[in-house]
Amino acid sequence: MEAKEFVLTTIFIPVVAFIVSTWIPGIMRKIQARIQLRIGPPILTPGFWAVLKFIYKERIEPVSPFPRLYHSLPLIGLFLMFFIILLTTPAWVDVLGLTTLVAVAGLMKVEEMLYIFMGNLSRSIMSVRMPYPDQVKGAILKGNARRFFEQVSAIRTFKLISIGSFPLYIGLFVPAVVTGTISIVGVAVYQGFNTTSFAISDIFSLKPLLWSIPGVLGAISYFIGYLVILNEYPFSIMHTKADVIEGPTLEYAAWARASYYLMREATMFVMSSVFVTLYFGIPPVLGWALIPHVLLAMILPVAAAVVSAFTPVLTFKQIYPLSLGFTALGIVGIIFAIL
């Protein structure tokens, strides 16, 4: 029975995550559009039809020193995200001892690192390769290193990983401090989740961490980290169109762009799903209980859409203090949890 559940979970949870995640960009765009007094695109267009369109576009070779590796990075990201959501399911508890917050944090770090690789592997025409007239005529620029937009983005991603994503990891570990375990399912069980049988009606008997002071502080921290890892406004410095345009993903076209969209959509959903598991105590399980999980997982994307509609892109001048501020908030949450 356990083996059967394991196999079914391994197949169906990523499928559900994939299907649901195609709706998220559309929902976000619709909310932003309504705030901006626009109609906005049909909900499935940005996340599903756009992907389908890109898959069927003419395949274009990226300008990159390692084109195949560059193309495979979004797929690796997509795989990582599905792996993360599986690690939060009760069916995977006994697999190699991986279902811990440490494993999730590590995989998220890898996800962030992918953007550095993308940035270093892309050589779009938008910057260095678009020559100026003096260069065309043969001018030699001595002692002058020219930097691609994507390289600038890679450096920015590194800075974001170093400082910007602190709040995310603090937000991940606040539940561990409150519950005294780094097991993800253990955190859910602490909040009243029953691993053997869980029905929709059992939701009302849960005691979510979110209703506690450390929970609220940790959730705020996690939300800021969510925006950072998604490179969503106001933390979209990595691909701000004011200078680096699309940044590391500038060279993705056709099916590669489709796979990048899928990776991003999956990140949106999975990160939110992890939040629901940690702060509401409802992990993704097969059965009707998956419905409330999916619905609650819309909280973060909706909040992100609202925040991004009202904020400009921040530079590191603002990101550093903001990040440190929200990290401090998370630490206060941890102190409350210890007390």
Q: Choose between 124 and 272: whose C-beta lies nearer to other proteins.
A: 124
What is the distance between the alpha carbons of residues 80 and 271, in angstroms, rounded to a whole number?
Answer: 12
Q: Choose between 139 and 335: whose C-beta lies nearer to other proteins.
A: 139
Closest CA to 230 of 171, 176, 301: 301
CB 262 within 8 A of CB 74: yes
Q: Does residue 339 touch other proteins according to CB under 8 A?
A: no
Phi and psi at 183, nearest 5°, equal: -75, 130
Q: Does residue 313 touch other proteins according to CB under 8 A?
A: yes
Q: Which stretch binds other proteins (CB under 8 A): 32-40, 49-57, 98-106, 191-199?
A: 32-40
Output the smallest distance, CB 67 to other proteins, in A. Answer: 23
β-partners of residue 100 are 183
Tell me the three state secondary structure of residue 327.
Answer: helix
What is the distance between the alpha carbons of residues 153 and 121, in angstroms, rounded to a whole number?
Answer: 11
What is the distance between the alpha carbons of residues 272 and 161, in angstroms, rounded to a whole number?
Answer: 19
Output the smallest distance, CB 220 to other proteins, in A. Answer: 17
Q: Choose between 21 and 32: whose C-beta lies nearer to other proteins.
A: 32
Q: Does residue 34 touch other proteins according to CB under 8 A?
A: no
Q: Does residue 317 touch other proteins according to CB under 8 A?
A: yes
Q: Is 84 exposed, middle or buried (0-12, 13-18, 19+ CB in 10 A)?
A: buried
Output the smallest distance, CB 188 to other proteins, in A. Answer: 36
Q: Does residue 144 touch other proteins according to CB under 8 A?
A: yes
Site for other proteins in 119-138 (CB under 8 A): 126-128, 130, 132-133
Q: Which stretch binds other proteins (CB under 8 A): 59-67, 209-217, 304-312, 323-331?
A: 304-312
Q: Does residue 145 touch other proteins according to CB under 8 A?
A: yes
What is the distance between the alpha carbons of residues 268 and 24, in angstroms, rounded to a whole number?
Answer: 7
Residue found by looking up tokens 């993903």 in the block: 249
Output the smallest distance, CB 313 to other proteins, in A. Answer: 3
What is the distance between the alpha carbons of residues 130 and 123, in angstroms, rounded to a whole number?
Answer: 11
Output the smallest distance, CB 118 to other proteins, in A. Answer: 18
Q: Does residue 147 touch other proteins according to CB under 8 A?
A: yes
Q: Does residue 57 touch other proteins according to CB under 8 A?
A: no
CB 268 within 8 A of CB 301: yes
Residue found by looking up tokens 């001892």 in the block: 97
Q: Does residue 314 touch other proteins according to CB under 8 A?
A: yes
Q: Choose between 33 and 43: whose C-beta lies nearer to other proteins.
A: 33
Phi and psi at 29, nearest 5°, equal: -65, -35
Output the smallest distance, CB 311 to other proteins, in A. Answer: 5
Strands (E), 166-309: none
Q: Does residue 39 touch other proteins according to CB under 8 A?
A: no
Q: Does residue 27 touch other proteins according to CB under 8 A?
A: no
Could you give the C-alpha distances from 105 to 108, 140, 182, 220, in angstroms and in order? 5, 47, 11, 17
Count of residues of this chain found to bind other proteins when the rule CB under 8 A is applied: 40
Lay out the site mask for other proteins across 230-269 (x = CB under 8 A, - = otherwise): ---xx-xx--xxxx-x------------------------
Q: Does residue 49 touch other proteins according to CB under 8 A?
A: no
CA torsion sign for 302, 249, 251, 253 is negative
- Site residues (vs other proteins, CB under 8 A): 32, 35-38, 126-128, 130, 132-133, 141, 143-147, 149, 152, 155-156, 233-234, 236-237, 240-243, 245, 309-318
